[in-house]
Amino acid sequence: MNHAKLKAIAREYGTPVFVVDHDVIRSNYRAFKKHLPRVQAYYAVKANSAPEIVRTLYKIGASFDVASMPEFKLVYDNIRHLPAKERQDFIWDKIIYAHPIKANQTLIELDQYKPLVTYDNYEEIRKIRKYAPHAGLVLRIKVPNTGAMVELSSKFGADPGEAVKLIKAAHDAGLTVEGISFHVGSQTTNFQNYVQALQVASGIFREAWSRGFDKMIQLDIGGGFPAPYDENVRPFKELAATLNAEFDRLFPKKVAILAEPGRYMIATAGTAVAEVIGKADRDGKRCYYINDGVYHTYSGIIFDHCKYPVKAFKKGPTQICSVFGPTCDALDTIGLAEQLPELKLGDLVYSENIGAYSAASSTYFNGFPPAKVVHINM
């Protein structure tokens, strides 16, 4: 993002400030559709649930992956202007409730919308039959998460060997299973995770079809699409080429393919700008304290296992520094090896590619408010 514009925003709104560029969001969406033309993108709202982002993505054709009723209602509220029938059709076409474990009350609230929901165990079948019998089902299976920044296979996913039994159990309960889903882990740079998962899913589809479960026509390949945090992340188009080859080889055209990109859509659209509020030398090392931290925009350091290099607008020779957030908690550590020039109190610093799983987790810990959020190019 343009440095002059970032500094102007900081002057106008004060710091800390979190800037979201909607031109970047639109560009990321277009790139996703260009390289994966067979895939419908269901934006993972948990990555950043700002209503402004939902509206931008909705306007350019995105669908949505939600995992809670507040997320569901956030998306639904953005299409209230549609006639009732179109809103109902919208749920089928534009929202998947992709959390395999749902509270009874959630299912009760969802049932009126006849949603598409995921499941991965027998108990969930019983719950859905009782509390949301009008839902369509997608079975989530366990697949390799090797090399993912955040692995998910230990928490969710049915064993592939049990998949057809779970499909039959849902069918016997009077429910309709419409497809298979999986998740290779967040920020997956090991593209073979997708290849293995697609091969496993293909085998399940064919066995299910052979047993008469011919309503299974949806494949949800989840998220995990890596954001370009550094030069070690291979280009998205390389992953897309691998996926397209596997789609053509393994899945007939009758199978509709959807995905749940969150990080990929929003990470590069966010930039955090903060102010140096403290400065000290400790054990021979320069330490800077800024007015944003891990309880605020940098929460991804804790919850997402992600790093966001701190950069200075000021030029000059650099040294290895520690950077801390504003709270009294030692956990509030942004980095211990940041390359920064000599800074003075009041100087501004920034971090790029911080749009996903960052401001979404901001708190008011220690009484410090989250960064102001500024949306540009909407």
* Amino acid sitting at position 31: A
* Beta carbons within 8 Å of 214's beta carbon, 6+ residues apart: none
DSSP 8-state secondary structure symbol assigned to residue 371: P
Question: 147 near 193, Cβ under 8 Å?
Answer: yes
Catalytic residue among 287, 306, 321, 328: 328
3-state secondary structure of 87: helix
Token pair 């079809």 in the structure block, residue: 209
Note every long-range contact of 236-242, with CB atoms under 8 Å and residues 24 or more positions apart, other chains counting.
236/31, 236/32, 236/35, 236/264, 237/35, 238/191, 239/191, 239/194, 240/35, 240/36, 241/35, 242/191, 242/194, 242/195
Active site residue 306: no
Nearest to 357 by CA among 37, 11, 50, 2: 50
Q: Strand 270-282 relative to strand 285-290: parallel, antiparallel, unpaired?
A: antiparallel
Helix (H) or strand (E) holding 35, with range, is helix 22-35
Q: Exposure of 250 by Cβ count < 10 A (0-12 exposed, 13-18 middle, 19+ buried)?
A: middle
Nearest to 267 by CA among 234, 238, 213, 304: 304
Distance CA 167, CA 39 (A): 24
CB contact burial 48-67 (16+ within 10 A = b; e otherwise): bbbeebbebbbeeebbbbbb
Distance CA 374, CA 161 (A): 48
340 beta partners: 319
Nearest to 95 by CA among 49, 37, 42: 42
Write out the catalytic residue numbers: 328
